[in-house]
Amino acid sequence: MKRIGKLHVLTDTVLQSRFSHTELAKQAISGGADTIQFRQKNGSTKELIEIATEIKRICSEMGAAFIVNDRIDVAIASEADGIHLGQEDFPLPLARKLLGKNRIIGGSAGTPEEIEICLRGGVDYIGFGPVYATGSKDDAGPATGIDFLKRIAQTTAVPVIAIGGIDQTNAARVMSAGAHGIAVISCVCCRDNPANAARELNDIINASS
Amino acid sequence: MKRIGKLHVLTDTVLQSRFSHTELAKQAISGGADTIQFRQKNGSTKELIEIATEIKRICSEMGAAFIVNDRIDVAIASEADGIHLGQEDFPLPLARKLLGKNRIIGGSAGTPEEIEICLRGGVDYIGFGPVYATGSKDDAGPATGIDFLKRIAQTTAVPVIAIGGIDQTNAARVMSAGAHGIAVISCVCCRDNPANAARELNDIINASS
């Protein structure tokens, strides 16, 4: 059965360089992350597959889901548990055809129109945002704010994972708004102790349910 | 039946900007190119698929094969006739599994070891080179020269397409060395009249067989 995680950590080696993708994955999962997402725009396909395969191994061992961002070729080759596709990525219906029913497909949305596209494309969850302003993604749209998130969470037929500027200071508010979970980058990856940072978020998520 | 073309033109919009990928494809095919290869490292996956789909349409209409470089996701989504994979790209055996027997898979090689990897991976043809020094590919290895090409062409079980620094001045020599065909970039794309440039190459290829 597909279970959509509540604490998604996108491992990032651009905003910080102290930790590798695999080190971040280990720390994040040990702190309570149940989903690791791998997003990297540079490097050869072979290199991306090698990193993804290593993260997948760690996720399997530690019991977390492994999701690849954008690159369905890398997801297939690394036997990822799923893929996360933005509006400018691979087409959702074809992704479902290639991955089958049992793998997770998430879609990014920041507007009701984009949510509609995701739902028609058969996503298992929606990454909605940016809820707050973020410096972690160059091409992120305008911040949606909490009220918009609340409306979306109430009316969307699949789990809504909030993303964008979420950290330990506002995660409780985001969960109270009805998000199924949160996806974070810098507030885990850029901290001195990513495991502790994930643990703080995990505690907030657990307290909110 | 899979037929491996003799004049492969890689449409390029980095070395020149006067022509789009589709304009280059049209001109090259009208001049006699039987295979168009799409190689682009920048842009969103959606954008790459859109361009590839448009080139594929032109190739189908004009009777040329359409091959995508590196990105098997883009090849699948655009229903390309095949994929060309470098040593740092997607793994060949998995590519065959995804594309099936009827689509073309080419592999890049510059050494006997890399040829062996390609053959074990089940390629339909090998892109061998760079035969001459080239400015069209940053990470190209050292030039192999004509004698090495001759030896490889004689001993390799699949068609050998020569690539790297090949143009109207040396194509006859390359074909005489036993190459099944040639793959070119700048000597078509960077010419004022790509159709004429392709026609010159096509005449050389036809004269050599």
- Residue B60 sits at the chain A interface (C-beta within 8 Å): no
Residues 6+ away with beta carbon under 8 Å from A21: A11, A13, A38, A40, A51, A54, A55
**pLDDT tens-digit profile, chain A (209 residues):** 689 999 999 999 999 999 999 999 999 999 999 999 999 999 999 999 999 999 999 999 999 999 999 999 999 999 999 999 999 999 999 999 999 999 999 999 999 999 999 999 999 999 999 999 887 777 777 899 999 999 999 999 999 999 999 999 999 999 999 999 999 999 999 999 999 999 999 999 999 97
Task: Decide if B159 is inside a domain.
Answer: yes
Read off the pTM: 0.94
Q: Is the ipTM here above 0.85? A: yes
- Residue B76 sits at the chain A interface (C-beta within 8 Å): yes
- Residue A47 sits at the chain B interface (C-beta within 8 Å): yes
Give the helix/strand (H/E) hosting A53.
helix A45-62
CA–CA dist A114, A130 (Å, integer): 13
CA–CA dist B122, B116 (Å, integer): 10
The position carrying tokens 């879609």 is A107
Q: Is the Cβ pair B90, A72 closer than 8 Å?
A: no
Task: Decide if A19 is inside a domain.
Answer: yes
CA–CA dist A120, A132 (Å, integer): 26
Whether B54 and B79 have beta carbons less than 8 Å apart is answered as no
CA–CA dist B166, B173 (Å, integer): 10
Domain that holds residue B113: 7-208
The three-state secondary structure class of A101 is coil
Task: Decide if A2 is inside a domain.
Answer: no
Q: How many domains does one find in chain B?
A: 1
Task: Decide if B2 is inside a domain.
Answer: no
For A45, name the nearest residue in chain B, comparing CA atoms only: B89
For A88, name the nearest residue in chain B, comparing CA atoms only: B46
- Residue A72 sits at the chain B interface (C-beta within 8 Å): yes
The position carrying tokens 């010419």 is B191
Whether A157 and A133 have beta carbons less than 8 Å apart is answered as no
Query: Residues B176-209: pLDDT tens digits?
Result: 999 999 999 999 999 999 999 999 999 999 999 7
Q: A85: distance to nearest CA of chain B, Å?
A: 10
Residues 6+ away with beta carbon under 8 Å from B112: B152
Task: Decide if B203 is inside a domain.
Answer: yes
Task: Decide if B46 is inside a domain.
Answer: yes
- Residue B41: CB atoms within 10 Å: 11
Q: What residues does A65 pair with on adjacent strands? A: A35
Q: A103: distance to nearest CA of chain B, Å?
A: 17
Catalytic residues of A: 39, 108, 137
CA–CA dist A98, B10 (Å, integer): 28
Nearest to A44 among B44, B72, B88 (CB): B88
Q: Which of A158, A180, A170, A154 is nearest to A34 (CA)?
A: A180
Task: Decide if A1 is inside a domain.
Answer: no
Q: A8: distance to nearest CA of chain B, Å?
A: 23
Whether B16 and B190 have beta carbons less than 8 Å apart is answered as yes
In chain B, DSSP finds a helix count (H) and a strand count (E) of: 9, 8
- CATH code of residue B32: 3.20.20.70
Q: Chain A to chain B, count of Cβ pairs less than 8 Å apart? A: 50
What mean pLDDT value characterizes chain B? Answer: 96
Residues 6+ away with beta carbon under 8 Å from A116: none
**Count of all residues that appear for chain B in the document:** 209
Task: Decide if B28 is inside a domain.
Answer: yes
Residues 6+ away with beta carbon under 8 Å from A165: A129, A130, A131, A132, A133, A134, A143
Query: Residues B111-141: pLDDT tens digits?
Result: 999 999 999 999 999 999 999 988 777 777 8
Query: Residues B10-48: pLDDT tens digits?
Result: 999 999 999 999 999 999 999 999 999 999 999 999 999
- Ranges assigned E (strand) in chain A: 7-11, 35-38, 65-69, 82-85, 104-109, 125-128, 160-163, 181-184
Buried residues in B99-122 as b, exposed as e (16+ CB within 10 A): beeebbbbbbbbeeebbeebbebe
The three-state secondary structure class of B53 is helix
